[in-house]
Amino acid sequence: MDELITRVRKKVEDGLELAEDELAALEAAAREQPGPTLKVAYAQALLNADAAAQALSVLEDVRRDFPRDVEALLGQARALIALERYKPAEKALDELLRLNPEDPEAFKALALLAMRRGEMARAREYVRRVLEIDPFDGEAQILDGGLQQGAELPAQPSTESRDEFVQALVSQLMKQSTPHLLQRKQLVVRLGQGGVARLDLDSLYAEHRASSRPLAVTVEALAKDLAERSLGLPEGGAELLTQVLPVLRDERFLERALGSVRREGPAGLWVFYVLEDPELVRYVPQKALDTHGVALDLLDGAAWARLDKLPTPVRAIALEGGQLRLAQSSTGLWALAAADGHDSARLLTPAQQQLIRSVVGDGPLRVYLGLRELVLFCREDGAAALSQLEGLQATRDGISGAFRLDGNKLSVLPEWKS
């Protein structure tokens, strides 16, 4: 019987529907075992069989006996979501996070709820939290891809074309005198004191399509938010210096960020400066430095000093079949994966370099910057890991090329050499 239950539980964990005899065996075992584990597994099996109401009844019984069991809470939330009882589901997930503040399953469920309500900014924040915990969580990556590409949810999507959406948004911005510019696939909005925010129009349109909101409601809310942000740069130099962080970009970005403060960086790269914002990338404009009388050297020093206080863990990575995943032990391949846009710049900070040395050891590293929100690297003397990195291609938003980090010096290589 134990072998049967083990096999049945594995099917449940994999999301597979059980045969009638398997479900009956699991139900009997759940009745016999006093703890919550098999009872929750039985409820999950019911959920897999689209018997959400029955599963909820089982889970409510479990919760009465084991009110602090996080798996029962998560199952209850999933059952409530399946029954479209979203407010009680969110309450259960909030309770789950009070018991287990870093539970990725709760964040993913909350992200789905936010997406169903058309609250894409909140959904992105929940997904970001999951990817901070595990950058290679498969479900979170799918959600992130849907949010980035505008995957539609089955909930009465809006029917306006992209051109109609853009025209309506631009008309609203003009009506409220918000400085803006249409540039290729981006909407550029002039922020306070000359700052610039760049928003991807395809993503904005996809968010609207994924919601059930009328076009006028979406456009009014978005335009209002942008109008408020148009006043949003720090008012003084001291405040500016407490919010700025550096990012590394390649030379392609120069024509996209005209008027933004920048300086030449190492290895043919450029250092730009952004203000922390969970939704918009706000580059510091030259006009802000002129207005506040802040020298570039002072801004640069403040940005790097702030980033030095924000190192991120060094993660062991496995690369299998072109897919990245977290590894339990060293593979010779590591990553920085804070996923906040600053990982490549972190390579140049003393605190991050010290953390890398404590994990990887001394000696030159080969570095791959080709992914948007992830930095991969290996020891230069690690032939197996070098051969894995060699075949990777940069994404559209990544930085192509091979780089070498030796101490605090980043240099570019003409080609990968193992």
pLDDT tens for each residue of 312-361: 999 999 887 667 888 888 899 999 988 778 999 999 999 999 999 999 99
Please determine, for residue 394, whether its predicted confidence score (pLDDT) is greater than 80: no
Per DSSP bridges, beta strands 409-413 and 402-406 are antiparallel
Where do the domains of the chain lie?
2-149, 162-229, 237-306, 314-413
Structure tokens at 155: 């909930």
Across the chain, mean pLDDT equals 82
- What pLDDT was estimated at residue 87? 81
pLDDT tens by residue, 253-265: 887 666 789 999 9
pLDDT tens by residue, 9-21: 888 887 778 888 8
216 or 197: whose pLDDT is higher?
216
Please determine, for residue 155, whether its predicted confidence score (pLDDT) is greater than 50: no
Q: Which residues contact 138 (CB under 8 A, 6 or more apart)?
A: none
- What pLDDT was estimated at residue 379? 94
Positive or negative CA dihedral for 340, 342, 346, 349?
Answer: negative
| % the chain with pLDDT above 90 | 25
- What pLDDT was estimated at residue 12? 83
171 or 147: whose pLDDT is higher?
171
pLDDT band at 113 (very low <50, low <70, confident <90, very high): confident
- What pLDDT was estimated at residue 337? 86
What superfamily would CATH give domain 2-149? Answer: Tetratricopeptide repeat domain (1.25.40.10)
- What pLDDT was estimated at residue 52? 86
pLDDT tens by residue, 121-142: 888 889 888 888 878 777 777 7
372 or 314: whose pLDDT is higher?
314
Average pLDDT over residues 49-63: 89
Local structure of 356: helix, strand or coil? helix
Average pLDDT over residues 219-225: 74
pLDDT band at 65 (very low <50, low <70, confident <90, very high): confident
Average pLDDT over residues 154-170: 72
Residue 2 burial class via C-beta count within 10 angstroms: exposed 0-12, middle 13-18, buried 19 and up? exposed
Structure tokens at 234: 């720090």
Structure tokens at 108: 């993913």
37 or 87: whose pLDDT is higher?
37
Which of 298, 248, 308, 309 has the alpha carbon at shortest distance from 274? 248
Average pLDDT over residues 173-201: 69
Residue 49 carries which DSSP code? T
pLDDT band at 416 (very low <50, low <70, confident <90, very high): low
Most confident of 70-79, 81-90, 234-243, 388-397: 70-79
- What pLDDT was estimated at residue 123? 86
Please determine, for residue 237, whether its predicted confidence score (pLDDT) is greater than 50: yes
- What pLDDT was estimated at residue 156? 47
**DSSP secondary structure string for all residues of 322-344:** TEEEE-SS--SEEEE---SS-HH
